[in-house]
């Protein structure tokens, strides 16, 4: 179906789809648009998705019936499959393992519309409750080292389906981006006995130039070293390493901050394509023979959301170096966003 392959030069993993032979013509640039006649995420077409793994429904509403508010289903074309063993092995200088994991779609609303920001706050909270429940359920599977929740909005951000949804992918390795972040936080805590992200929040609030939005629960900033224009991070002010431990009140505070941020972005940049990625602590499974490294993250990690509009291309320099070029200073981006009314609609 797919496998994880490790490159000794780049020291990283790629997920390679092996399950279906594709013809080169599927990769011609002009054919990348997808057209759909009916939307498989709309109510009444539940049989066109795999059976739901979670849903928020009125009491008594039957599973896989149309009367849902938020619905989570396995991806019909999953990148990774949940059954099987990792079978980690070498192939000469290379390494591989089976494409074990989970790939789920969180359908955020029964309405056929692309904007998470248009949902009522109560509905946004239901979406976050679905995130929380899926994190709590999937982390019981000890094969998964990380559960990544993310959203693709717009064709250029990787979403061909114009019905508001996000995704969850569970992987059997700690993703490199998260590992770097966890190591940075761990190292900072060991030196300073303080949380790196708490200290970043304090510095940003004092400085003020990169603040997009703040209230008594959340801070939204354009990062000091933003890698792309109008990139943002949403931080809860209250230290907590784990999104899955947030109660409903905290989820409601998050909804207020995220809705305002998404509306500003949409209004200022005419509904740009964007991705967001939830950064939260990995499941803390002690592993035999290894130091119990991630099991004590409560002090040194701090969950947050990364929001990245897809406005510039990655070209040869960025790909080859790993360095990003940002044509928009984050201080100017924050000023524009701060001054934009979060009014609904375009």
Q: How far is the CB of 66 from a second copy (least distance, A)?
A: 28
Q: Are 264 and 145 in contact (CB under 8 A)?
A: no
Q: How far is the CB of 180 from a second copy (least distance, A)?
A: 5
Q: How far is the CB of 173 from a second copy (least distance, A)?
A: 8
In 3D space, the residue among 127, 131, 130 whose CA is nearest the CA of residue 115 turns out to be 127
Q: Does 180 bind a second copy (CB under 8 A)?
A: yes
Q: Does 27 bind a second copy (CB under 8 A)?
A: yes
Stretch that binds a second copy, among 59-67, 136-144, 181-189, 245-253 (CB under 8 A): 181-189
Q: Are 46 and 62 in contact (CB under 8 A)?
A: no
- Identify the residue among 67, 120, 207, 248 touching a second copy (CB under 8 A): 207
Q: How far is the CB of 212 from a second copy (least distance, A)?
A: 13
Q: How far is the CB of 248 from a second copy (least distance, A)?
A: 25
**H or E element that contains 30:** none
- Region 212-231 residues binding a second copy, contact defined as CB under 8 A: 223-227, 229-230
CA distance linking residue 185 with residue 301, whole number of Å: 6
Q: How far is the CB of 250 from a second copy (least distance, A)?
A: 22
CA distance linking residue 82 with residue 78, whole number of Å: 10
- Identify the residue among 112, 177, 287, 296 touching a second copy (CB under 8 A): 177
- Say whether 103 sits in a helix, a strand or coil: strand
What is each CA distance from 242 to 24, 128, 133, in whole angstroms? Answer: 43, 13, 13
Place of tokens 């209004």: 267
- Identify the residue among 178, 195, 232, 297 touching a second copy (CB under 8 A): 178
In 3D space, the residue among 82, 71, 79, 69 whose CA is nearest the CA of residue 46 turns out to be 71
CB nearer to a second copy: give 68 or 127.
127
- Identify the residue among 161, 184, 245, 252 touching a second copy (CB under 8 A): 184
- Region 102-141 residues binding a second copy, contact defined as CB under 8 A: none
Strands (E) in 19-58, as ranges, are 54-56
CB nearer to a second copy: give 135 or 173.
173
Each residue 249-288 as x (binds a second copy by CB under 8 A) or -, in order, gives -------------------xxx-xx-xxx-x---------
CA distance linking residue 118 with residue 179, whole number of Å: 34
Q: Are 79 and 14 in contact (CB under 8 A)?
A: no
CB nearer to a second copy: give 68 or 309.
309
CA distance linking residue 123 with residue 110, whole number of Å: 10
Q: How far is the CB of 181 from a second copy (least distance, A)?
A: 5
Q: Does 87 bind a second copy (CB under 8 A)?
A: no
DSSP, res 212: E
Residue 275: what are its φ and ψ, rounded to 5°?
-120, 145
- Identify the residue among 45, 325, 343, 344 touching a second copy (CB under 8 A): 325
Each residue 153-172 as x (binds a second copy by CB under 8 A) or -, in order, gives ---xxxx-------x-x-x-
Stretch that binds a second copy, among 112-120, 137-145, 182-190, 280-288 (CB under 8 A): 182-190
- Identify the residue among 59, 60, 322, 345 touching a second copy (CB under 8 A): 322
CA distance linking residue 16 with residue 75, whole number of Å: 17
* Dihedral of the alpha carbons of 42, 43, 48, 50, in degrees to the nearest 10: 110
- Region 296-315 residues binding a second copy, contact defined as CB under 8 A: 306, 308-309, 311-315
Half-sphere exposure (Cβ direction) of 166: Cα atoms closer than 13 Å? 23
């Amino acid at each position: 179906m797919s496998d994880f392959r490790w490159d000794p030069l780049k020291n990283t993993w790629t997920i390679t789809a092996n399950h279906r032979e594709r013809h080169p013509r599927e990769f011609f640039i002009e054919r990348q648009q997808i057209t759909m006649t009916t939307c498989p995420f709309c109510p009444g077409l539940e049989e066109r998705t795999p059976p739901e793994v979670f849903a928020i429904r009125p009491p008594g509403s039957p599973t896989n019936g149309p009367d849902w508010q938020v619905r989570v289903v396995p991806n019909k074309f999953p990148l990774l499959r949940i059954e099987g063993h990792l079978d980690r092995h070498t192939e000469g200088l290379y390494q591989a393992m089976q494409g074990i994991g989970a790939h789920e779609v969180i359908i955020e609303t029964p309405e056929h519309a692309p904007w998470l920001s248009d949902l009522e706050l109560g509905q946004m909270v239901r979406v976050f409750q679905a995130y929380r429940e899926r994190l709590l359920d999937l982390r019981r599977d000890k094969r998964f080292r990380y559960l990544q929740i993310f959203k693709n909005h717009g064709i250029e951000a990787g979403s061909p389906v114009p019905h508001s949804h996000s995704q969850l992918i569970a992987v059997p390795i700690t993703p490199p981006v998260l590992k770097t972040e966890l190591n940075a936080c761990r190292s900072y805590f060991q030196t300073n006995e303080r949380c790196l992200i708490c200290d970043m929040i304090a510095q940003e609030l004092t400085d003020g130039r990169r603040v997009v939005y703040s209230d008594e629960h959340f801070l939204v900033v354009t990062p000091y070293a933003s890698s792309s224009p109008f990139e943002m991070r949403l931080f809860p002010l209250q230290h907590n390493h784990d999104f899955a431990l947030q109660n409903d009140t905290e989820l409601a505070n998050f909804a207020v901050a995220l809705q305002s941020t998404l509306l500003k972005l949409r209004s200022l940049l005419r509904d740009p394509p964007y991705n967001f990625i939830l950064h939260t602590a990995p499941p803390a499974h002690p592993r035999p023979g290894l130091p119990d490294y991630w099991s004590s993250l409560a002090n040194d990690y701090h969950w947050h959301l990364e929001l990245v509009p897809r406005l510039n291309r990655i070209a040869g320099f960025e790909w080859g170096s790993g360095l990003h070029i940002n044509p928009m200073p984050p201080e100017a981006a924050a000023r524009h966003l701060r001054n934009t009314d979060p009014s609904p609609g375009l």
